[in-house]
Structure 1
């Protein structure tokens, strides 16, 4: 199957190329972070309500009784409330509930498990603030999806109540980069080539970090007795194999998993609202969240 419309995806690919294609050895990390933020946000600045989540900068989007704790993507080196605020606002609108985003510490300045430490701190802050687990979901895109799943594993290890649903967009959950799709989708994915992924792993973990550890690669964790998982991923993503491995292992462990693979779509395509597939994906995610915690 082909995408719903060829011209919008061509426009998106051109935007990505115009941003990423300018990055070279002389490009600073801050310049990359700003370029990434501009690309992902599309210049949108939705209304938000700033929050202090036990010392971690956070922001609320949308209204409603249900809450989604959202972990932004960016390879653990980029991304922020500003970059992913529009996506969080879109999810809040689609689900008719509140979404909480937060600025976890980024690598390489703050290596693993700094981001996970921050995420579990925000998760505890929500629970301590009276958010009931049955009214709480957790989600994320790309590295943020891996962070969201690792947060659930750590919450269970710390005997915290678990959320009622997990929603993952284009999940990167395997820092060992074992997926066959790194080869089969290499010519189709403009963002996540395997050599770049391994560079991000080194920046995040450092030389002595263990990419196989379940809190770095949550696909390696104990996936039994987890909340239901919804995964949306594009067929043109090199990390498609992460989804396949995660879904297989979670189902084998008895966890409910629903996977939707979008033909012709690229990594975290939901950040590009001009795509009909993006809008359709968000509508499905919203319906899923309403059904689980709405």
Structure 2
């Protein structure tokens, strides 16, 4: 166990998810405001990283939070898109996780407060990510020194932003990292059912509501920038994927790996045994999460 790891006899992330599931079951008519307030608790399982400062800023017209580890290389930036079904989650709920990753990699991170659904359906979220990428380039950051990274729906966006940049003929990020990416907008994943008893949060019904919010009934669920399972991955940057073996979305990462590999992409997938959705949220509390960040840091440095 790493020196700063907090020991616990419970899986704090699983327990948080179980609590949220109970709240949602008891309040089926919960307002979006309260729904978002509940999911802003997502930071709770993550230990506050040491020697990191935070700064609110607006980049490319998009508000967010800079995570600035002491000694982090400011010329290398993680463009972090948070999870939450495109409708909940925030820069605040994810700043500690983004800071842990930045610290492990020796870089800085900018966590976007991108426009959320249902007020802003697809492709607003992708457009915001591209706007931040463009602004980072204008500020002097080299494209190969930008990593798009995200979790769950934000993992979808980390991939979709890179795809959108290619579609627009712009430079690509140097690499892409996605934690438990949720990309299947058709809701057809096999592990939605085979892992239904072990995933403490994700259900097909929860995803259906989020799909309706972001696609708004007007966007085809096979649209590649909404559902990267239908995208052309030729020429895509190096890609690192994680997932937990007991989560309902593990097959999203597995299908992405296969699609990318067939297109010739340098892709790495790590499925962590017994772990829940976006298990790196346990950074600082779990040896499994901490070791995953070390593994990503090694992968990142090997590609430099």
Normalising by structure 1, report the TM-score: 0.93
1:188: Cα distance to partner? Answer: 0.7
List runs of 5+ in structure 1 lacking aligned partners: none
1:156: Cα distance to partner? Answer: 0.5
Relative to structure 1, the CA distance from residue 7 to residue 41 in structure 2 (aligned partners, 3 Å threshold; closer, same or farther) is: closer
Deviation string 1:141-195 (CA, Å, 9 cap, x unpaired) is 0000101111011000111100111111001112112221111111111111112
List runs of 5+ in structure 2 lacking aligned partners: 1-6
- Helix, strand or coil: the match of 2:133? helix
How many pairs were matched up? Answer: 288
- Helix, strand or coil: the match of 2:23? coil
1:85 matched to 2:98? The reply is no
1:36 matched to 2:39? The reply is yes
Normalising by structure 2, report the TM-score: 0.90
Out of 151, 161, 164, the position equivalent to 1:141 is: 151
1:269 counterpart residue number: 279
2:4 counterpart residue number: none
- Helix, strand or coil: the match of 1:60? strand
**Matches of 2:177 and 2:28, distance apart in 1:** 35
Answer yes or no: is the 8 Å Cα contact 1:41–1:86 preserved in 2.
no
Question: How is 1:1-294 mapped onto 2 (pairs within 5 angstroms)?
Answer: 7-9=9-11, 11-23=12-24, 24-42=27-45, 47-62=53-68, 63-64=72-73, 65-273=75-283, 274-293=285-304
- Helix, strand or coil: the match of 2:261? helix
1:43: Cα distance to partner? Answer: 8.1
1:269: Cα distance to partner? Answer: 1.0
**Matches of 1:183 and 1:26, distance apart in 2:** 25
1:44: Cα distance to partner? Answer: 6.5
After alignment, is 31-40 or 234-243 more displaced?
31-40
- Helix, strand or coil: the match of 1:229? strand
- Helix, strand or coil: the match of 1:287? helix
**Matches of 2:16 and 2:150, distance apart in 1:** 23
**Matches of 1:245 and 1:54, distance apart in 2:** 32
- Helix, strand or coil: the match of 1:244? helix
Deviation string 1:17-52 (CA, Å, 9 cap, x unpaired) is 223311222322111211111133448676312221
CA RMSD of aligned residues (A): 1.7
